[in-house]
């Protein structure tokens, strides 16, 4: 049973890293502009979105982004990230 929990914890850790990478890549658009087609940043962004979106989309349907003026805060991202942190702390 310990091996199964270790594997689950590792998968959750990898998902945390991918969520952080997605956040950094999304913010890079604000700082450096949109990535050019076929660039490394474009491919990394597409990969991070492809892996994390199946986890975020169902939560986003229940909990839409919070609009504050011209800014939208993705509450689904925050909820999923905190849920992963809590689950990892429980199983370790």
- Alpha-carbon distances, residue 69 vs 2, 30, 34, 72, 73 (angstroms): 48, 17, 22, 8, 11
Q: What is the DSSP letter of 67?
A: E
Q: Where are the domains of the chain?
A: 2-91
pLDDT at residue 1 above 80?
A: no
- Is residue 78 very low, low, confident or very high in pLDDT (cuts 50, 70, 90)? very high
Q: How far is C-alpha 61 from the chain's CA centre? A: 15
Q: What are 16-64's pLDDT values in tens digits? A: 999 999 999 888 877 877 777 878 888 888 899 999 999 999 999 999 8
pLDDT at 82 over 90: yes
What local confidence, expressed as pLDDT, does residue 41 receive?
83
What is the predicted pLDDT for the residue at 17?
95
């Amino acid at each position: 049973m310990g091996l199964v929990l270790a594997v689950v914890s590792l998968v959750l850790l990898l998902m945390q890293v991918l969520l952080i990478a997605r956040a950094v890549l999304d913010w890079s658009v604000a700082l450096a502009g949109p990535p050019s087609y076929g660039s490394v940043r474009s491919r990394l962004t597409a990969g991070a979105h492809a892996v994390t979106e199946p986890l975020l989309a169902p939560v986003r349907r229940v909990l839409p982004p919070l609009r504050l003026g011209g800014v939208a805060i993705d509450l689904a991202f925050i909820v999923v990230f905190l849920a992963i942190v809590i689950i990892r702390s429980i199983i370790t």
